[in-house]
Chain A
């Protein structure tokens, strides 16, 4: 086989895989919903203290709802899979320094997405829990 044909086949393989990924994401990726929603966000600190926020929001994704929760503060760093939240309400849970992390749950189940892409639906109960690493 000629070198040019091999290169063309290689490019075709890459484009095919990329197109499959784009298609899968478009079909099955996280989708926010329009409209007003009321959700709760509960922060569970390292001492077990719970702080609950009731948020009325039009945000499609969790980050927007967190930004609108009055009194809730958070910060983090960019990671391979979006923002990695390491500090919530002034309490840091950084694995390297604290041996702990902030775990995110929606309706009792572990969130599959980062906060920028975790969809928000009316009535959702989110929980952000200080979790010591095992």
Chain B
């Protein structure tokens, strides 16, 4: 269910560059379904590779999404919506920076920095869109996902 949702929300907004719901859903999944989210994110990343090809971006996906789940798990006791809006926003703003890591190994520090700098306008859009989506959808989606987790007996701790 989690993987299908991630693929569906990714595809549904793919026509809008740097506007995505994967960040918000991964945060919510990690809050409501706990460690199970690591399995979902693993399958999601492998599926993305088969759908779009195993390019250099795929190696970014190997750590960038599981890292978000880990950060969420660390702060899982935080209930405030605004805290998660802030995390979503910072994640979008720093997405390019953390994604530039594979370029360190491909072309060196200069290539990695150039790649990151070139993507900054897109990171700004990513951060802003993450903020808006989290502010609008965090509460209603968390309510739905928590009720599903309770119904199927998943303890998010």
Contacts and interface: CB of A to CB of B under 8 A. Distances in A.
Interface stretch (B26-34, B64-72, B117-125): B117-125
Interface residues of A, number: 30
B63 interface: no
Contacts of B123: 21
B17 interface: yes
Interface in A117-131: 117
A74 interface: no
Given A13-B86, A133-B53, A112 B17 contact: no
Given A29-B118, A80-B18, A114-B118, A14 B52 contact: no
A7 B118 contact: no
Contact of A81 (B55, B122, B127): B122
A129 to B, nearest CB: 16
A18 B127 contact: yes
Contacts of B107: 110
Contacts of A117: 118
Chain B, interface residues (CB within 8 Å), range: 20 to 34
A82 B86 CA distance: 26
B90 interface: yes
Contacts of A95: 52-53, 55
B122 A80 contact: yes
A126 B17 CA distance: 26
Given A96-B51, A96-B52, A21 B124 contact: yes
6 contacts: A3-B80, A17-B94, A21-B93, A25-B120, A30-B118, A79-B17
Given A14-B127, A22-B124, A112-B114, 12 more contacts: A10-B83, A14-B89, A17-B127, A18-B124, A18-B127, A21-B120, A28-B117, A78-B15, A99-B53, A112-B115, A113-B118, A133-B55
Interface of B: 15, 17-18, 51-53, 55, 80, 82-83, 85-86, 89-90, 93-94, 107, 111, 113-115, 117-124, 127, 131
